[in-house]
Structure 1
Amino acid sequence: MKQKRVLSFLAVSFFVIPLILGGCSKKETQTAGGQTLDKIRIGASAGATLVTDVGLADEIFKKHGLDAEITAFAAGINTIDAISIGQLDIGIAADFAIFNRIGGAQNSPLRIFTGNGDLFNNSQLFSPDPSVKTPADLAGKSVITHLGTVVEYYYAQTFAAVGVPESEVKYLPVESPLEALAVLQAGNAQGYYANGRTAESVKKIEGIHVVGELKNYVPSTVLVFVSSEQFLKEHQRVVEKFLGAVEEIYDVIEKDRQRAAEITFKASGAPVDLTLLNLQLQTRRLDVSQSTFDALKSMYQWLEGKGLIKYPFDIYKFVDTTALKTVFPDRGNYK
């Protein structure tokens, strides 16, 4: 099993998604023991390789008949685009990101094939402006955002809750946390949502202070696995193997979080304390329950209402739980 890395910028922890699955070759390889494995390329966002690190260390992918090749990407959102053009086959996304991409093109090949739990939002809203005490004080000021990501939704919900029309806020789009830090340090923006490693860097800026907590406006974000319609049909057995492997990996992680954190530190350098914190902020369950589907519908309705869905679509047609229900017959029940 090989591991490669493709890095350009630090990942933004509140919208970079932890796991993305790459193209599965039709060619099979034989292990020394004679077992036939389905070759699969798995990508993980930089700093969020826990599942793949544990899967490799404990040979869980191999146990489930998968020859896994791992590639680390700088940002999860880019891998969703790669699925659309056939460079990758399976990935994980937040609700905002996947709907933004599905609705951005006619006849999108993307499909949701299982939910993956909820990410509890612990991002904090920072400001270097001493006159800004609460999110409401950002009216008439500039805030940093990352276009095409769930951060847009975070700001919209925050300002709606505090009674500030979005037309009164100036959004400054940036491409990376590093650029965001530079903008804050230069005093060109008065607000920025951040957490994890990014938040730790923001806190080092002189005069920076917290003016809001995201959890008060958006408690959690729904995470889902996505693939292409073609891949799900042509490689259903591989998807089933992957679901079984991830389920076992989740069990291993829950039985000993400390050991799991130490594995990913040794393999990828992710700080143990940060990994343990992230484990507290995310539920892990492969399912499309009624609550998951309702949350997806709510997000879609908001996006469509904001005019962010260029090509409206029927959510039901973009969810395919065939593989999920084959592996876990009691899951994937929604109306």
Structure 2
Amino acid sequence: MKQEELIMKKRMLGLLLTAALVLGVTGCGNTTEKKTTEQAKGSSEELTTEAGETQTVRLGVWTGGIDHYLAVVGTEQGIFQKHGIDLETTEFASGINTIDAIVTGQLDIGMIADFAGVNRIGNTQDNFDSKIIGRYVTATSWGLYVNEDEVKDLSDLAGKGFGTIPGTITDYYAALTYEKAGIAADEQKLVNIDSTQAMLGVVDSGEVVAGWSSGASAKKLEEHGMKKFLTMDDLGISVDAYYVASKDILTEHEDLVEDFLAAIKETEEWITANPEEAAGIVENKIGIPKDQAAANIEASTLLLDFKQDSVDHLDGIKEWAVGAGMFEKDYDIKDFVDTTALGKLFPDAVEN
């Protein structure tokens, strides 16, 4: 195949992946795996090598997500190698699928976003033995998009179609919007959709006059006449994502978890200092257009911590999920967190 055709296909894939990502954290979907190292390791027991050599960490990433950016940039810049890690990256169609792979022993570390994580833990809490080891990104890139002819004040949403993807973070954002607007339950009119294309259809038909979106999907809504009316900052919320580690690597190779987190921290600092160069690496390695990668980096605050604000953030989502009947039994989020490695490296990044 000619080189030009390869590049074009890669760019097209990047555009499709970017569009898919902005639907939000759904916590569902079929698993799509893609190995990005030459060989796979069978279990965490194979992590130990001779002194001075690198050790393999099997990392699962959400294809095209910020965690994917960190993996490819850190590898390209030699940061993981510097910290003694041979990073074996496997791509998945959604972050929640990385947790499934940890449970089945395919991965050592994966990622989970706030809403999907709260929901997964809530529905599997008696058997969920992986642990959150740190938050790596927070963002406020979502917005409420409305038909300005129909919505001039939040109260105008009463009795009018509000698009949402059922069982996802958009349900939560819709609930917070109604709460801010003071709209009673009998005046709330949620319209369930399952894709950006479906959202555009109900917007064009007039069935929906509002919905939360971001990135490429938000741009499409704007092309169909919708305007940003509310930001996440207006609601005092954010979308956060976390690294999750298997029980085996935490109990048997805590030093390797420390090495991984040290490499992530250094990679985040490099991306923050070199956003344009980082976006170029992402385009070359993943296929997401450089301008879109740069916009995603700009919309994200890279950090590595887990403090009380993270507990409060997850608790807020959990309380709503319990009330919405998404799972039956409440739980303490701290029971599913292990910041031992993070605290050893960066004491100020955890609660004392």
Fold shared, TM-score > 0.5 on shorter chain: yes
Q: TM-score, normalised by structure 2?
A: 0.79
Other-structure match for 2:72: 53
- Equivalent position SS for 1:284: strand
Other-structure match for 1:317: 335
Query: Per-residue CA shift, 1:221-244, capped at 9, x if unaligned?
Result: 333222343442234233222101
Farther off after superposition, 240-249 or 47-56: 47-56
Other-structure match for 2:117: 98
1:168-317 superposed matches below 5 A: 168-205=187-224, 207-317=225-335
Q: How far 1:85 sits from its partner (Å)?
A: 4.7
Q: 1:158 aligns with which of 174, 177, 195?
A: 177
1:132 has 2:151 as partner: yes
CA contact (8 A) 1:81 1:101 kept: no
CA contact (8 A) 2:26 2:169 kept: no
Which ranges of structure 1 fall in alignment gaps of 5 or more residues?
none
The whole-number CA distance in structure 2 between the counterparts of 1:154 and 1:176 is 17
Structure 1 residue identity aligned to 2:72: D
1:109 has 2:119 as partner: no
Structure 1 residue identity aligned to 2:70: V
Query: Per-residue CA shift, 1:183-207, capped at 9, x if unaligned?
Result: 43444422221111111122222x4
CA contact (8 A) 2:283 2:290 kept: yes
Moved over 6 A (4+): 4-9
Q: How far 1:96 sits from its partner (Å)?
A: 2.1
The whole-number CA distance in structure 2 between the counterparts of 1:47 and 1:268 is 10
1:70 has 2:89 as partner: yes
Q: How far 1:103 sits from its partner (Å)?
A: 0.5
Q: TM-score, normalised by structure 1?
A: 0.82
Q: 1:228 to 1:284 in 2, by over 3 A?
A: same
Other-structure match for 1:11: 21
Q: How far 1:175 sits from its partner (Å)?
A: 3.4
Structure 2 residue identity aligned to 1:316: K
Q: 1:140 to 1:96 in 2, by over 3 A?
A: same
CA contact (8 A) 2:158 2:187 kept: yes
RMSD over aligned Cα atoms: 3.3
- Equivalent position SS for 1:275: helix
The whole-number CA distance in structure 1 between the counterparts of 2:101 and 2:154 is 36
Q: 1:252 to 1:28 in 2, by over 3 A?
A: same
Identity, in percent, stands at 34
Structure 2 residue identity aligned to 1:137: D
Other-structure match for 1:118: 138
CA contact (8 A) 1:11 1:176 kept: no
Q: How far 1:131 sits from its partner (Å)?
A: 2.1
CA contact (8 A) 1:15 1:94 kept: yes
The whole-number CA distance in structure 2 between the counterparts of 1:259 and 1:231 is 33
The whole-number CA distance in structure 2 between the counterparts of 1:102 and 1:141 is 33
CA contact (8 A) 2:25 2:168 kept: yes
Structure 1 residue identity aligned to 2:20: L
The whole-number CA distance in structure 1 between the counterparts of 2:71 and 2:263 is 10
CA contact (8 A) 1:46 1:73 kept: no
Query: Per-residue CA shift, 1:148-190, capped at 9, x if unaligned?
Result: 3322221111110111124422323333334333443444422
Other-structure match for 2:6: none
